[in-house]
Chain A
Amino acid sequence: MLAVSAGDALVWAVWVIAAFSCLGAGVAVVSFANPFYSALALIGNLASLAVMYLLLNAEFVAAAQVLVYAGAVVVMFLFVIAYVGPRREPPWSGGPSWQTVGAVGAAGALLVEIVVAVGLQATGSLAHDGRVGAAFGTPAWVGRVFLVDHLLAFEITSIVLLVAAVGGVILGSHTRRLDAAAAQPARREPQRGVEAVR
């Protein structure tokens, strides 16, 4: 530990900050009652992840992460949260039923198992230090690997995106009649509420 170089120490420091902020943001996502705050916390999570990707020589992926996730996915979330309106739902509401106990147990078990698995291999196959070339992780390199070695994955991914787009459109439309039908009884309710207030 004492023989670490300055570069190494810098990397360590960056890693520690990124890791902690990642996990902290993750906990925040899960804990906030207001979904709007959860979405914002997710942005923090994504940013720290991007930093960690950079530390791992995955520049293209880091950039894609920021663009796609933070730039598109989270924006979609925010739109929908705004459309849906304010809903507060405290995280542990409903009391510690068997559902929550079981949830904690299952999640904890998974976590412990993975850590143990990793730890067992830490001195084994995960021990050696890999050296990578300079081109590793660059967009050109990723592009070539994507389109040459894993072309099928590329095509399938594009089909999945197409399907999702179509699905999103369909789910979002065709409900005008139901909207109108649903809107009518709803219109009466606020009046009742107004009368009750009076």
Chain B
Amino acid sequence: MSGTAMTAGAWLCLLAPLAATVLIALVGTRIPRVAAGWLSTLSTFVAFGGAVWAFLGVHSQHRIAHGCLLSTTSCTDRGELTTAWTWLQAGSFHVGLQLLVDPLSSVMMLIVSGVSALIILYSIGYMDGDDEERRYFAYMSFFVFSMLLLVEGGNLLMLLIGWGLVGLSSYLLIGFWHERPSAVAAAKKAFVMNAFGDATMALAFFVLIAHTHSLAFATDFGVHLSPAAQNLVALGLLGGAVAKSAQIPLQTWLPDAMEGPTPVSALIHAATMVTAGVYLIARAHPLFEQARTVELVAAGTGALTLLVTGLIALVQTDIKRVIAYSTMSQIGYMFLGAGMGAYASGIFHLLTHAFFKALLFMAAGLAIHAVAAEQDIRKLRGVGRLMPYTKWCFLAGALALVGIPPFSGFFSKDSIIASAAALGTWYGWVLWVCGVTGAFLTGLYTFRLWFLVFPGEPSPFVREHFHRHHGREGALTMLVPVGVLAVLATGGGWLQWSAGWHPLTDWLEPAAQTLAVAAPTNTQEYFTSAATVLAGVAGIAVAWAVYAERRLPIPAAPAWRRLLEQKFYFDALYDRLFYAPAAALAASLRREFEEPVVLQTGTDIGDTTLETGGVVRRLQTGLLRTYVLLLAAGAAVVVLAFLIAR
């Protein structure tokens, strides 16, 4: 019974958004624009229903076999693998169109479909009036389908397909307003950098296939490779995760991706797609555990990213970019957790982050929408006075982000940092310090943003451009999801308090068991929580002092400021290292090869043909006698040839 529930729920969840995409694409302009939006929204809610169904199925099966810890049978294949048909077959290598419904994937399905449903509902109000609304909703549904395929994929190939398709959806949606060259450039940048990650993942898969002739989870995760091969595979997967989740060194695409509409930033570049890297590490954790060094490198990457991006966020003046850097920073936390082996903590932070980050983006979107699409925080000062609902929702999200109890971010972030303490080695303590410092930075940049934008007297710009939507701050379809997420961001953290009450860790245990070395003791938990909260409050206090009360001046330090404003010169470096040589090569190829050789050859062929034609045309005299003469002469020659041959 539970088996069919799981299977049916999974397929429903996956195919509902796809059906919406196909329907919108086929019906096209025959339906009104807002109908496409409602269609997309409803399909995503149906997907959420399917996810709940599948979840209940896993739950009942989980309860039946809960006692497996005491038995000798393995718990790791707790899940239903449903195959549609065998898709690829090459000798002993089979790949089927498979979906896996297990604790990890059901949690991800719920997060993805739930948050997507809310954001797509919000989009109906946000994108109202846009000429190409239908295309937008088709793309959004397609994205939801791709992301669900990624998390539900039953073997590595299905995961890779979902991986690639979310990259495509991201490209399509970032460049949605394709008349803007900046948007198109940002879309290309995102796609190319993700392609790098895709390539490393593919290489990792090749190594796996070479050794196991299979891409099934069970086979590949149970295999024992040589250390070199193991490291290669783990590095390849890590490369893909780093690219998709915008961690250093492949983080430069995410801030530019803010060119897309705000709901896109909320969905793809905050709540779901960028968290795919964390999901990958959790799913493929057996492979990472065998290459423990690489896994710890992942944790280090996360720590480095959370510091660097937190610093850069301090000088950003675009409201969306601050939140984007914040996203990268928080995903750094998730990588930190997953890299150490605390998979449940990483996934928990993924869950709470989805809530409050989407909330932040959507609240910011409300403000942007109300003030004539202005995103510069220097101009948006005081908008909170005119938009109290938005102000309080944003505050809830900000507090959750910083990790102040009882908001959700507190519960999830602390368990990650505590795992670093549990690691024990010098590396663990370094990571711990990074985590706590990150908490301080988070408080600082988040409340810099809040104090600059929301409280205080409205600026002249705001007064001039602010407009209400039918007497409200925004359309109802925008206000409701923001409210729902505010509630979730506030109360969602009570799902797990690692010290005593941890249903999520238990739930995920069959799929992604937390490593013992990364499980913190209660003492470490309390100590870390205290430290983190103190750091966060300190950050808020500094922000208050500098930006709200103006008691402390912003430090001058022009060199440091320039470093941060230039985003640690990553963009300049990549430009010099990759783009400039490639552009020079392309230009020189065009100059030296394409124009003189290829184009000229084409022209030459044409000219030669014309010339030959001109010459041959002279044979066509139209004179009968000439033709007959040629016939006779030809006949004479042929007969002569025969005679000679004889």
Contact = CB atoms under 8 A, between A and B. Distances in A.
A–B contact (CB under 8 angstroms): yes
Interface of A: 99, 102-103, 105-107, 109-110, 113-114, 116-117
Contacts of B629: 99, 102-103, 106
B625 A110 contact: no
Nearest to A106: B632
B626 A110 contact: no
Interface in B608-640: 625-626, 629, 632-633, 635-636, 639-640
B536 to A, nearest CB: 103
A106 B633 contact: yes
Contacts of A103: 625, 629, 632
23 contacts: A99-B625, A99-B629, A102-B629, A102-B633, A103-B629, A105-B633, A106-B629, A106-B632, A106-B633, A107-B632, A109-B633, A109-B636, A109-B640, A110-B632, A110-B635, A110-B636, A110-B639, A113-B636, A113-B640, A114-B639, A116-B643, A117-B639, A117-B643
Interface in B564-599: none
A116 B643 CA distance: 9
Nearest to A116: B643
B631 to A, nearest CB: 9
Most chain B CB within 10 A, of A105, A106, A109, is at A106
Given A105-B633, A113-B639, 6 more contacts: A99-B629, A106-B636, A109-B636, A110-B636, A113-B643, A116-B643
Nearest to B634: A106
Interface in B427-465: none
Contacts of A106: 629, 632-633, 636
A152 to B, nearest CB: 27
A132 B500 CA distance: 125
B86 to A, nearest CB: 59
Interface size class of B (residues with CB under 8 A): 10 to 19
Given A113-B640, A116-B643, A99 B626 contact: yes
Contacts of B640: 109, 113
B628 to A, nearest CB: 9
Interface of B: 625-626, 629, 632-633, 635-636, 639-640, 643
In the complex, the 9 A-B pairs of residues with the closest C-beta atoms, listed nearest first: A106-B632, A109-B636, A106-B633, A113-B639, A110-B636, A102-B629, A106-B636, A103-B629, A113-B640
A117 B640 CA distance: 10
A146 to B, nearest CB: 29
Contacts of B636: 106, 109-110, 113
B320 to A, nearest CB: 83
Contacts of B643: 113, 116-117
A48 B639 CA distance: 28
Contacts of A116: 643
Contacts of A114: 639
Contacts of A109: 633, 636, 640
A103 B636 CA distance: 12
A99 B624 CA distance: 11
B621 to A, nearest CB: 10
Nearest to B628: A103
A105 B636 CA distance: 10
A189 B409 CA distance: 111
Contacts of B639: 110, 113-114, 117
A106 B626 CA distance: 12
Nearest to B631: A106
Nearest to B636: A109
B632 to A, nearest CB: 4
B509 to A, nearest CB: 90
A6 to B, nearest CB: 39
Contacts of B626: 99
Nearest to B625: A99
A73 to B, nearest CB: 21
A61 B607 CA distance: 59
Contacts of A110: 632, 635-636, 639
A102 B637 CA distance: 13
A99 B627 CA distance: 11
Nearest to B626: A99
Contacts of B625: 99, 103
B15 to A, nearest CB: 67
A119 to B, nearest CB: 11
A109 B640 CA distance: 9
A83 to B, nearest CB: 22
Nearest to A121: B646
A105 B633 CA distance: 8
Contacts of A117: 639, 643
A174 to B, nearest CB: 24
A114 B638 CA distance: 12
A100 to B, nearest CB: 9
Nearest to A114: B639
Contacts of A113: 636, 639-640, 643
Most chain B CB within 10 A, of A105, A113, A114, is at A113
A106 B635 CA distance: 9
A9 B153 CA distance: 107
Contacts of A107: 632
Nearest to A107: B632
A109 B632 CA distance: 9
B634 to A, nearest CB: 9
B85 to A, nearest CB: 59
A106 B632 CA distance: 6
Contacts of A102: 629, 633
A99 B629 CA distance: 8
A52 B633 CA distance: 30
A61 to B, nearest CB: 26
A120 B636 CA distance: 17
Most chain A CB within 10 A, of B636, B639, B640, B643, is at B636
Contacts of B633: 102, 105-106, 109
A114 B642 CA distance: 11
A196 B42 CA distance: 99
A58 B635 CA distance: 29
A116 B639 CA distance: 11
A161 B506 CA distance: 99
B326 to A, nearest CB: 90
B276 to A, nearest CB: 78
A110 B636 CA distance: 5
Contacts of A105: 633
B183 to A, nearest CB: 70
